Amino acid sequence: MPKTTLFSGSKGGLFGLSALLLATVKASPLLADIVFNYDPGSPASIGRSVDYRNPTQTKLDCLENQNWGWVETETTDPNAVGGVVSVQVNGEYTDDYREIYRKLNFNASFKASAAISEVMSAGSDGSLKINYDYTGKFSDLSYVLVASYDFGSRRLNRPTLRPEYQSLINNGNHDEFIARCGTHYVAREEMWAYAAIVVDIDRLDETVKRHLLANYGSETKIVELASAELKLGVDGAYNNARKYGVATLRFHANGGDPTKASELAEVAQSNNLAKALSGMKVYMSGISRSTSVPKRAYLASFSNFGLDIEEDTTRDRFLEAAYFTSLKYQSALEAANARLATLEAAQRSGLDLNSIYERDIIKLNNQKAALDELTVVCVRDGACDLSAIRDAAPLISYRTTLLREPILEASCQYEGADLARVAVRVLGTLVDPNAAQELAVYRILEYTTGRAPEELSIRRTRFNADPHNRFQVGFELNDDPYSELILVDEVRRSRFEMSVRLVDGSLEWYNLGYPSIREDNCPLKL
């Protein structure tokens, strides 16, 4: 059965996901000198030759014997269906995009190298254009659920060089050998199949984000396993998060039955987690070693046959850093352009504000061009200065959220000597006042159950009146006649949320938290 690599998301299309970097390891030279987390775009496969300094280049097949076999000693259950060694399913929230890449075995170094090689083959030192279909812009938080089958590994059986290439080494023609055969060969491959659901959540305030990370940040179990079958269910964490943000669902898969690809494509477009979980179960059923794909390639050096080569992973670390830095620029540019497009569509902003965004976009493009040139020089000339990458980080950033650091204040008001009411104010700053058309504040009563949130205040007005884009919303809270608590305790056990409706009709939610009222500041009687 043929293998398939699938990416399906809001943009559609195909995109292979794999490794993170090349790393020199202290392993037996008969097994591997370098671990290359596999990328479907790489010409390297078991028995094939590769130049570890430029893994995108296709090299000649220089091994005489490319026979391989499964490493059966790794199989924990000899009766496992399809040769499955182990089954792993876990899900968690993360705000670190590098962690997402690690889970999906993505190769940032390879992607940067491939992009630059394409530019150079066209005879130009032009802009570094990397495929960002997977990442898009940065999200505030992502939920990652990965189900994978480990099929163990396969390795070469006593590899030997073809006589004509061995003679190149024996005669001291090392450069000619490297030009033809590269520096390493793939001696072993780890095989797997996986399906992953990634839920990117934007417009999420920091309070909710911290709550989700604290409660669901480490391997939340939303999936049950029975033998080698997947039983998928939801614990509500995703739905809770979606209440406070704008969620986009992405589906990634590799190593399954290609006939199920169309079903996965439909799942990715649905933006429905329950359907995605069902699609994951369908995709992972019926897989076997025959459909599995490489996860990692273990590269053995041709120095085993006498080749003189020095190993240095500086280039790969540089390209990995360049890729992620370039991704930051891409994120900032997309956010700035999206905000500018919203303003222009609504025709609510003046020339000055548009000019600010346009100025920032020009500056970001110029800074990214300088980064691209550093990356081209690294690939073309081998001058890979990691410190230069640190200096090339973006000086401008954009968040998708519109509200900046809202503050909740409360004060007690008296009639005579008796506490009469509690006045509450929400203070904050709008990143872009022209993009907002309405603010609303809600109170969630956490001292009781069965009562809907109270809408306390709505403000519909010109938000750009303040020169510093500040705003405030105020309201008064009286004693709840249905509660046995005193007024101050009712307020302390009330959580407040704010919604901001944008001019394009979309809605952002912010968790304001609880008012801070000290006992000595709010007595029942003065």
- Tens of pLDDT, residue by residue over 240-260, are 444 455 567 777 778 877 667
User: Cα–Cα distance between 121 and 316 in angstroms, integer?
Assistant: 20
Cα-Cα end-to-end distance for the chain: 82
Give the residue-averaged pLDDT of 193-222.
61
Q: Which residue has the higher pLDDT, 204 or 257?
A: 257
User: Cα–Cα distance between 178 and 51 in angstroms, integer?
Assistant: 7
Report pLDDT for 124: 43
Report pLDDT for 172: 92
User: Cα–Cα distance between 100 and 271 in angstroms, integer?
Assistant: 19
What are the angstrom distances between the C-alpha of 70 and each of 18, 64, 75, 374?
Answer: 22, 19, 10, 42
- Tens of pLDDT, residue by residue over 89-134, are 666 767 666 666 666 666 655 555 555 555 444 444 444 454 444 4
Report pLDDT for 359: 74
| C-alpha 90: how far from chain center | 16
Give the residue-averaged pLDDT of 44-71.
86
Report pLDDT for 236: 46
| 495, pLDDT greater than 80 | yes
DSSP string, 407-476: EEEEEEEEETTEEEEEEEEEEEEES-GGGEEEEEEEEEETTSSS-PPEEEEEE-S-TT-STT-EEEEEEE
Nearest to 457 by CA among 444, 475, 430: 475
Q: Which residues pair with 411 in a beta bridge?
A: 423
- Residue 121's CB is within 10 A of a number of other CB atoms, namely 9
- Residue 275's CB is within 10 A of a number of other CB atoms, namely 16
